[in-house]
Structure 1
């Protein structure tokens, strides 16, 4: 190869490299991290915050339809109750009168189920609770469910029992 060709080739490579690297890198000297996918909304543990009107009133069943959240799992059941996820919510009922939840057993309504709120949506609750009065078969009444009925606390999983 002739010397002038080698010099010309070297000069072209240097010019190309200079044009290519004429702008300083915007992230020079910085650690570049890959984009992170949005994390799913955190889950929450739900307690049924029902309070009896008097010492004789008890909770016999409930049927709650949720909007803005998904029921992930049933964490615990009050003694003598059936509690299950249904499409769009959760329902539960006492299988025998001894399972009714009274003022002495309100702790049985703690940490019942786990939900995942939907990002950007407000939690809504529709449905009803059926209450009764001990020693009075005719004392049943329905209470409309509201979001205030659900006491929520952040939790990754159901508590270990």
Structure 2
């Protein structure tokens, strides 16, 4: 992965703020935009990591975070990405790894708005924040353990 930018997409409000997103009325989802080198990791692998490190079976919810801004979503850039996203979700559903069907939204990427600077690299910038320690930390540890073969030593 070359870069990750936290942000918002999928809504109606132009250039929304985090405060506006939190109201759940803008229609946006909290997302990350990932720039990656396809010679090192492909789109299917990225989506597999995504699908297996969050709960894609709960509608408009991630853990205790509830609202449309927390929906599980994949926003694709082209038809090939759309096809791959559908295939990955189908594979997850067929495997019954979650025991419930995947409800992840698959939509074309509209306008992406980068989140405020304090949201960028949030986990690394706020390691002692409780949400980072107890929620994000568990997801990072899970990803590192399950997908160590895809990671480059820091």
Same fold (TM over 0.5): no
Q: Which has the higher contact order (CA 8 A, sep 6+)?
A: 1
| Max Rg structure | 1
Structure having the larger proportion of residues in strand: 1
| TM-score normalised over the length of structure 2 | 0.25
TM normalised by structure 1 equals 0.24
